[in-house]
Amino acid sequence: MAMRVALIVALASHASALRVLVVGGTGRVGRHVVAQLRAQGVPHRVLARDPAAALAALPAGTDIVAGDLADVPSLRAAMDGVSACIAVSGVSRFTRAADLLTGRLFAPDPAPPSESTHPYVANERGMSNLVEAAKASGSCGKIVRVTGLSVGRPAWSPVALLFNCLLSVSGRHHANGENALRTSGLDYTILRPGGLSDEQKRAGRGRLLGAALAPPARIGRSDLAALAIECLTHPDASRATLCCAWTAGAAPDASAWSSLLAAARPSCRDAPAGAPRRVPPYRLAVGTAACAAAGVATAGIARLLGAALGVRLPPLATAAAVALAIALNAGRSAARGS
């Protein structure tokens, strides 16, 4: 009890001196975060790779600092004088055939040198860079990170398998980025929202908050932004991983984020403090699915070519050879590191 009171007092003091760095402030969720911080009178600044584009997208007078998650010196400059950070940045990239054929998709650093916006760079290494910059600043003590509901789900679940196969194993990069926060020593909140919508929350629609939510689930970007801001200073959001979504028919007194945070705390608090969560074997699942898909496709192509050329190509042997080649490349790449 005494520790909880001390935490509340510390957070209340922190709130009175709040100055927030928004990472991803020009995105569809980030713009809501910036607008709501502005409406609440909370001092803030926005990290932007392209300050000119950010000036055009954000309200006049917004404090914008040039920087990139891949550029550590720029992050340290952006953190100067900041007491908290909301990171709603993230990138999506479709898996390419070359990623599979070369085995790059399964390498410890799967990003081609020319791709600074690869999910590994932005969601994994970029989060590690942001954490190090926050620690070096000496002033930033809290990071709120937004990832997604599919992160942390079993690697073989249909939702996780689909997302990771299509989007360059993005779940693994988000999960590793989350662990960079958990082991940082900083205070943090990790939010895993359901599918994002531009809808406004209507009367009669409540909110769900918990350690795990089953898809499909949806939440409005504006409401997610409000939750992220609430988590900056709410004591029950400290060192917690929270899944969030909308639901129908919730009672009015149970639909406020502040009350839901208090109710969700026992199941959502990360324990033990400072320990990473196990990352599901996403690469293994994606590699297996890729080998199976390549084998099926190759068998079909072998049959078509054989019929067209009037020769008999062994579809099963051809399929097995292609699947084996992908598996060997994947194994070789994965063996270079964890």
Domains and CATH numbers, the chain: 2-280 (3.40.50.720), 283-334 (no CATH)
Q: At residue 332, does pLDDT exceed 70?
A: no
**Helix 221-231 vs helix 257-268: crossing angle, to nearest 10:** 70
Averaged pLDDT of the chain? 84
Q: At residue 75, does pLDDT exceed 60?
A: yes
pLDDT of the residue at 134:
97
CA distances from 140 to 40, 81, 121, 131 (A): 20, 8, 22, 10
**Within a 10 A sphere around the Cβ of 337, how many other Cβ atoms?**
8
Q: CA 96 to CA 268: how far, in whole Å?
A: 36
Render pLDDT for 2-49 as a digit per residue (tens, 0 to 9): 445 444 444 444 455 899 999 999 999 999 999 999 999 999 999 999
Helix ranges restricted to H, the chain: 2-16, 30-39, 51-57, 72-78, 97-102, 119, 126-137, 158-166, 170-182, 221-231, 257-268, 282-309, 315-334
pLDDT of the residue at 145:
98
Q: What pTM, to 2 d.p., does this model score?
A: 0.84
Q: At residue 336, does pLDDT exceed 60?
A: no
Q: CA 236 to CA 239: how far, in whole Å?
A: 8
Q: 240: which 2 tokens?
A: 């917690």
Tell me the chain's radius of gyration from C-alpha atoms. 22
Q: CA 218 to CA 329: how far, in whole Å?
A: 38
Chain centroid, CA 160 distance in Å: 13
Q: CA 320 to CA 19: how far, in whole Å?
A: 57
